[in-house]
Amino acid sequence: MPLLDPLAATLESLAAERGGALGVLPRLVTEDSSEWTRAPELVREPYGTLLSLVDETAARWGAPRHVAAALLWKTYSYWHTLPMALGWALGRRVPLMRFADTVVRSSDAGVTIAALKITVAVLPHDPLAGAPGTKVVDHLGTAIGDALLDGQEPLITALGRLTKVGARTLWGSTAEAFVHPLLRSGTYGQAAALLKEIGEPVDGLVVPHETGYRRRTCCLWITLPDADPCSTCCVV
């Protein structure tokens, strides 16, 4: 989709910085789902497929299941959120991955996600408003909030039922997933303004700090043996 060219270029640059380990396809869309698991499969009880991802994370870090669930979510939510955050920052064009159209697989980045198809939310004055694949909205924050509830809440609910990890803990990772990339090219104030526009469940879970920002919830990384705290940790 040409209107996402700037976003794809930014994601490709990020992949190069990370040695190719990117948790989302730069073009976001895959036409072949044969090697992927559809996101709805992850929330289907008794959660066998989701449990395998949690246990894979647990083995990687030597973590108990509830901690592994939080760390898996920190990875998944970052890559699911990143295109929305960058799309908003680059040109106020936000790609929306519907949960039913999202696919996931294990990768060197922890997990990689993609979509079978996407819609791009744009504002009414955008010159491409009305182009194929776009959805005109009055408030991008509202569109992003709806996308979070559609695309992330089912998985947060499933992880909570599976491992008893708290929803607020997980939403804190989503909030950080907006702030972290936006600080690469903007200010905390801009990131905070976006979170405020999105509203619940992410607004208020990140606060300003002399080092940039701090979370109000812990991602549980610090509970691992000999783990150094994250720079944004609320515990230290």
What is the DSSP code string of 21-72?
--SEEEEEE-S--TTSEEHHHHTSTT-HHHHHHHHHHHHHHT--HHHHHHHH
Give the SS3 label for residue 19.
coil
What is the overall mean pLDDT for the chain?
94
Side-chain-facing half-sphere of 53: CA atoms under 13 Å: 29
pLDDT of residue 1 exceeding 80, the answer is no
- What is the structure's pLDDT at 43? 98
The CATH class, in words, for 2-8+28-223 is: mainly alpha
- What is the structure's pLDDT at 203? 96
- What is the structure's pLDDT at 210? 83
Mean pLDDT in residue range 184-212: 91
Mean pLDDT in residue range 18-37: 91
| pTM (predicted TM-score) | 0.95
Segment 135-175, tens digit of pLDDT: 999 999 999 999 999 999 999 999 999 999 999 999 999 99
Segment 49-104, tens digit of pLDDT: 999 999 999 999 999 999 999 999 999 999 999 999 999 999 999 999 999 999 99
- What is the structure's pLDDT at 234? 86
Query: Which tokens go with 45?
Result: 């009880």
- Helical residues (DSSP H) of 92-187, grouped into ranges: 140-151, 153-163, 167-182
